[in-house]
Amino acid sequence: MLFTVCALSISEMGNAQTTDFRLRAGINVQKDFTKRFSANIGYEHRFNNFFTTYQALIEPSVSYEIIKPLSIGAEWRIMADQDIKRRIKYKQRGAISLRYKKTIGDFELKLKTAIQYGFDDLTNDTSNNRKKIINRNSIAVDYDLFGSRFTPFAGYEFFYDINNPNGGIINQSRTKLGTSYRVSKASDLSAYYIFENEFNVANPVDAHIIGFSYEYKF
């Protein structure tokens, strides 16, 4: 009986939710070649595990507007990932996406679904050898403050692991709140907070993330 209780306690500890605090800073440059076709290149630096490890990633992407509210896109991510022992691994993944954008009064509704192939973002997932197929689905709303340079926004996203060995599972979600500030006609500066929740995986993490980004369009 005592052995059973101890085993259950150890099992619960091994799967207990832990908390992390993270910081992100990024820059994105967008070029509109035509009214329908655009290309982006982004760089982001992330500090994880209470700022003791980091990830540096570069992400080029393209987007094409099929009809006014609907566009398709493709992106590629190259990432340097440093662990707690200062070892660096280089990872890559690709993704295709479908986006819907609609203005309703002072609000702009954004819907996105994407399929990505390669690694995912789970902090303590040890199945790194498996090339994962992840379906990401998100909804976001921007609010246009009349007469102001600020645009508050909010969003929610969840991740569906399609080719999980135990069957498809939802294993991660993100809730995002923030605001952008129009620096000029071509550039914006944003600050945001993300609550990231992992579940249905070993060693799940609740992460509190503060981020800043700068975007320039030409």
pTM of the model: 0.87
Residues of the chain with pLDDT > 70: what percent? 90
Answer for the pair 160, 135: CB distance below 8 angstroms, yes or no: yes
CA-closest candidate to residue 91, choices 61, 55, 139: 55
In this prediction, residue 203 carries a pLDDT of 86
Give per-residue pLDDT as tens, 121-176.
Answer: 776 555 556 789 999 999 999 999 988 999 999 999 999 999 988 889 999 999 99
CA distances from 125 to 52, 143, 159, 173, 203 (A): 18, 36, 14, 15, 7
Give per-residue pLDDT as tens, 45-58.
Answer: 999 999 999 999 99
Q: What is the DSSP letter of 185?
A: S
Residue 182 to residue 141: CA distance in whole angstroms: 17
Specify burial of residue 143 (Cβ count, 10 A radius: 0-12, 13-18, 19+).
Answer: middle
Give per-residue pLDDT as tens, 111-120.
Answer: 999 999 998 7
DSSP-based three-state secondary structure for 104: strand
H or E, element range at 87: none
DSSP-based three-state secondary structure for 4: helix
Answer for the pair 135, 115: CB distance below 8 angstroms, yes or no: yes
DSSP-based three-state secondary structure for 157: strand
CA-closest candidate to residue 209, choices 199, 198, 197, 195: 195
Residue 13 to residue 201: CA distance in whole angstroms: 13
In this prediction, residue 41 carries a pLDDT of 98
More confident of the two residues 13 and 26: 26
- Where residue 2 falls among pLDDT bands split at 50, 70, 90? very low
In this prediction, residue 10 carries a pLDDT of 34
Q: What is the DSSP letter of 85?
A: T
Task: Give the domains, in start order, of the chain with CATH numbers.
Answer: 24-217 (2.40.128.130)
CA-closest candidate to residue 173, choices 186, 160, 187: 160
